[in-house]
Structure 1
Amino acid sequence: MPRFDIPAPDATARAAAYERLDGLVKPLGALGRLEELAAWLCAAHGVVPPRPLDDVRVVVFAGDHGVSALSAYPREVTAAMVRVFLAGRSGVNVLAAQAGARVRVADIAVDWDGSDVPAAVTAHKIRRGSGSIDVEDALAPGEALAAFTAGREIAAEEDGADLLIPGDMGIGNTAVCAAVVAASLGLPAAEVVGTGTGVSEDGLAVKTAAVSAALSRSADRVEDPFDRLTALGSACLAATAGFLVEASTRGIPVLLDGVFSGAAALVARDLAPGAEQWWLAGHRSTEPSQAYALKALGLTPILDLGLRLGEGSGAVQAVPTLRAARAIIADMGLLADLA
């Protein structure tokens, strides 16, 4: 298993941030979570105040999943949505534009030819789709590491960003996330499976049974993170984990989105302990597996808007809150300066 050198956020900058926050023209702690976020940004950027969040980038990892038949939507939607991202008309495109963030889409495992899209979109493609985890492994031997490496390469290509956001697109991905979170934390399927794109009560029962079957099938092969990704994950989930690890090695702060990046973060943390110090949780998903993942990672969501779109759409909504946190430490006056 590869080893990673994860730097620690700047503790001196964090301490200086809290000292400045305590000296602002307000009662101690009066700005609550904004103060915590401001200090986190100072530690991540290594300076007080932190840099303006001018360069925010979203990378949407796209891929199809073998369990897509359990979804309320057909798997062909994944390929169609890649084109929507490229046209700038998806939910995350619209919301990212409001936050001044740039959106990139990376086809890691979409089940299509993809010859009509820019080569940069498919430059890191690993395979077309993945196995149906209830009856077979998601990936072939070696593909989890290859996808993880692709995600690291993508993060390296995004070096220089003030903040990175991993997004996702793939019909069937909530079932995969539930399986990975359950295997990572030793939980039963019934506790982590949610309705995803909106399956019916009967559909939820079928989905839960499929995740339970996947967990039983792979019970003796989930201790190693790459074996876990091979048996239960997907190429795009492995790539997202690689993206998170590489961002941490480079000291780039990351704002996690929903259930998909939460599941990937659990695997990334297992591969690179300490990497979670560079991550914030942008929002609370309606999917139950995300809550378990964030609790295990020690992360508290910034927003809770009842979102379940994915794509990075929830995390970009938290960017203005982070900018507000930066503004208070950069622009508020000091009690010591009062006449």
Structure 2
Amino acid sequence: MTVFLDSTDLDGLVGRAELIDAVRAAFLDLARGLAEQPAPQSLPGAGDTQFLPMTATSHRLGLSVVKVMSDAPANRAAGQPAQRSTVLVLDARTGERLAILDGEIGTRMRTAAASAVATDALARSDARVLGLVGAGRLAVEHVHALREVRGIDTVHVWSRTAATVRAFRHAVDGLLDVIEAPGPRQVTEAADILCTLTPARHPVVSGQWFRPGLHVNAVGAPPRPDHREIDATGMARATVVVDSTATQLAKSGEALLSIEEGATLPQTFGRELGAVLAGTTPGRQLPSDITLFNSVGIALEDLAYAAVAIARTRIPDRFSTERRLPAEVAP
């Protein structure tokens, strides 16, 4: 029996703390050889639209996913989402179709959960001030997710549009102090933890603004090799940790453009988050280190979200067994 979950079904279904735990477990699986995460290949659509089929398998959970993400920048002019996605969940052994999920909510939540996992592993334990370059729904989700791992009490935020900042302020009202910044530089210089959440093609943040001790989550640029939010200086100054090296070297403009400009080397992007979590690769070593999680987004994160979401539906019942959902993921 196939479970079909649209955005209405998924809204509020998965808790943030349990998702962070599930995403952390997925990254550890990747480091320990219990998951497969190949680099995706783009499929050109019409005009500037691209499709990105993303795949992953969790041997621990016995699941495989295929996520198809569309990136259609021209949609913005028509007031439509630039990105849409659908996730297909399969039994990794039999190939049985288990579920089909609308990708909007899951993508937003798993992206912020990955940032939370990286922040917990890399940011200073006393980090309290969050900086957000970009103030849309992904920014709101990051506030909630990062507050699960750090005692954030203040956020400095900037967006190109005042209406977006007003909506952000309303969404997080009462959670923390919100300070509207005049630009990305002021956000960066004020932050202990910086999240860049814009669909930028050209850098909006300069590494010259990074203060000692800063942790950065570079999140917003779409998975295209000519898009980036942070310049080559920023990538060179930081200890860079990535979700997947193979994906970074195929799809990350932050990685590929900084390599092309001679500021970094391919091995700069060889430090995977799973290995840091497993203790086989160092992350932050000194309070003064600048750390940066370059988040392109991988299908294994979508698999982690889908596993929890399907378990919450209790359909089919056999999905909620210990074989499929071990203690750190099961409800």
Answer whether TM exceeds 0.5 for this pair. no
Q: Which has the higher helix share?
A: 1
TM-score of the aligned structures, taking structure 2 as reference length: 0.31
Q: Which has the higher strand share?
A: 2
User: Quick one: higher RCO (CA 8 Å, sep 6+), 1 or 2?
Assistant: 1
TM-score of the aligned structures, taking structure 1 as reference length: 0.30
Max Rg structure = 1
